[in-house]
Structure 1
Amino acid sequence: MDRSVQTRAMASDQRIAILRLLAAPERHFSGQWSADPVDFGVCMSLIAEKLGVSQPTVSRHLDLLKQAGFLTVRRQQKWAYCKRDQAAIREYLDWLGDQVASETSTV
């Protein structure tokens, strides 16, 4: 995975907010009727609504998070559902912690 893409994805308050919301979809998106938010993912339009931004804006944020590997997007009919990839996020955070803490890191 391209670490620069992952770092850029984490460099936005709105993208961090999306990841936080998707960490507990049952709490934040319990009203989603079209699919189970935990098992299937959360509809993009509900994420935009929760953040108070337009769908094109949230789509750009979600695309970068997808490129970084931090979420998966699943399409069903005309809707796109997003689900957080916890393993990829943990792996990135572990890598970042090692980079920051390591005395032998290349600068």
Structure 2
Amino acid sequence: MQDRSTQIRAISSEQRLEILRLLKTPNVHFAAQWSADPAEFGVCMTLIAEALGVSQPTASRHVDLLRQAGFITVRRKGKWAYCRRQEGALGDYLSWISETLGAEGIPA
């Protein structure tokens, strides 16, 4: 199980949420990636930075926090870094939020 405070911090940024949204359907958003299949291998960090309209160091910081939270994995191929969503970790987090903050768990 991941540290919940890290996970909460990871999704507290609109740009990090956008990374997760883009990586949900990588073949749609990153179809032009030629170096590796975006769904199978992951999406190149350069393309994520371009999609967000930010520098690569800024994108790297966002990706690193998502990686620490367990929401994505980063895989290296040569000098390139490729990112993939971790559906199991995201599902676990959403279940935890639902259980923790669900209507029956909130005091009146």
Number of aligned residue pairs: 105
Aligned-pair Cα RMSD in Å: 1.3
In 2, Cα distance between the equivalents of 1:79 and 1:23? Answer: 20
Are 2:41 and 1:50 equivalent residues in the alignment? no
Structure 2: runs of 5 or more not aligned: none
Deviation at 1:4, TM superposition (A): 0.1
Q: Partner letter of residue 90 of structure 1?
A: G
Q: Percent identity?
A: 60
Tell me the SS of whatever aligns to 1:32. coil
TM-score (norm 1): 0.95
Q: Partner letter of residue 71 of structure 1?
A: I
Residue range with higher mean Cα deviation, 95-104 or 52-61: 95-104
Deviation at 1:71, TM superposition (A): 0.3
Aligned residue for 1:22?
A: 23
Aligned residue for 1:71?
A: 72
Q: Partner letter of residue 98 of structure 2?
A: G
Deviation at 1:103, TM superposition (A): 3.0
Deviation at 1:104, TM superposition (A): 7.8
TM-score (norm 2): 0.94
Structure 1: runs of 5 or more not aligned: none
| Aligned structure 1 segments of 4 or more residues deviating by more than 4 angstroms | none
